[in-house]
Amino acid sequence: MGATAVLAGLAAQRIGLPGGWLIGPLIVALLIGLFRSKRPQMPQPLLFSAQAVIGIILSGTFRPEILPGVLGHWFSILFVVAVTLFLSIIAGLILARISPINRETATLGTLPGGATSIIALSVDSKADTRLVALMQYTRVVLVVFSAAILARFVLHPTDAHSMPPAIILPVNLLTPTPWFHYSLTAIIALIGVFAGRLIRLPAGALLGPLILGIIANGLSLVLPVWPPGVAQAAYILIGLYVGLLFDKTSLIQAGKLFPIIIANIVVLMIVCAATGKLLSILTKTSYLTGYLATTPGGMDSVAIVALGSGSDVSLVLAVQMVRLFAIILLGPLLARWMLGIRTKKISSH
């Protein structure tokens, strides 16, 4: 199964599928669930390791270069991110109200951006990780294709500047670095997992390394980076874990829910497009910049689209990164808080 998952991840990556290293193994695991009566189980230490690796990868995306873009429009960015986060949770609660999907699954599945991270977060929650993965990656595919088409044929930039490619491109995690950095990264990950689980952070195996990695990266103590292949291995493990959760019954159920999931994604895309217009007005940039900054897709894919579109890439990346960290750090807590309020209201009646 392992070799097949690697080949599937490589094939998915080669054809340009968003999150290919996760989606390919996920499909392999789905097929195993369909044709095998007894499915293998993912050992918990492997799952924690994969979550820790992803947490460190996310911390490595924090770059001091984006701070001027954030500070220059801090109110507009925070306002738009807060509105987007609030409206996405509302959309998730509405989805839970009109469908059989439970509230925590609906809210996590609707949170915009950071698909792999949200899936990893859902592992330690009461959400159905299978449906969260289905909702998140269906949205990523739709958003990437629609953003590329709109940027090419519909929306046109009016911004006079954009950041140089060398600054806006994410950190290349496969660039060879001394083993000293690899070792420190592993130590940060181990301490982060231990601390996150000890203080009972939601998805502590992911958030612990993420927070420590951001601190280390922000203080220039160490560049959080993994040796070549480690990131892909983590995506493969998460993909296998999610795929192995499905069986024939759950796949049939997911198929029945697919139309309403698509409708929910379209609503979320419209909401984000509206907040993008608001951002363009507040920051006096083009609507293309505002749209790409707020669109609920993967940050890496959106950055590539923005780079080739002539939009203000610094602002796009700043908003995407602020929203990513807000969703990872605050999204699950805010969702649980809102779910708790709703539960109390129902029980009072």
pLDDT of residue 174: 44
Does residue 245 contact residue 32 with C-beta atoms inside 8 Å?
no
Phi, psi of 311 (to 5 degrees): -80, 175
**What confidence tens digit (pLDDT) does each residue in 203-220 have?**
678 778 888 888 887 777
One DSSP character per residue, 128-179 reads: -HHHHHHHHHHHHHHHHHHHHHIIIII-----S----HHHHSPP-TTS---H
Sign of CA dihedral 165, 230, 185, 300: positive
Identify the residue whose tokens are 């060398």. 166
Q: Which residue would you say has higher pLDDT here, 283 or 202? A: 283
Q: Which residue would you say has higher pLDDT here, 337 or 205? A: 205
One DSSP character per residue, 36-64 reads: -SS-----HHHHHHHHHHHHHHHHHT--G
The pLDDT confidence band at residue 92, using thresholds 50, 70 and 90, is confident
Does residue 267 contact residue 110 with C-beta atoms inside 8 Å?
no
What is the C-alpha separation between 16 and 282, in angstroms, rounded? 34
pTM: 0.64
Q: What is the distance of C-alpha 214 from the center of its chain?
A: 17
pLDDT of residue 156: 59
Does residue 346 contact residue 96 with C-beta atoms inside 8 Å?
no
Q: What is the domain partition of the chain in residue ranges? A: 44-242+255-348
Q: What is the mean pLDDT of residues 36-59?
A: 80
**What confidence tens digit (pLDDT) does each residue in 186-205 have?**
999 999 999 888 887 656 78
The pLDDT confidence band at residue 278, using thresholds 50, 70 and 90, is very high
Pick left, alpha or beta for residue 257 (phi over 0 → left; psi -120 to 50 → alpha; otherwise beta).
Answer: alpha
pLDDT of residue 167: 31
Which segment, 35-44, 85-94, 117-126, 135-144, is predicted with the most confidence on average?
Answer: 85-94
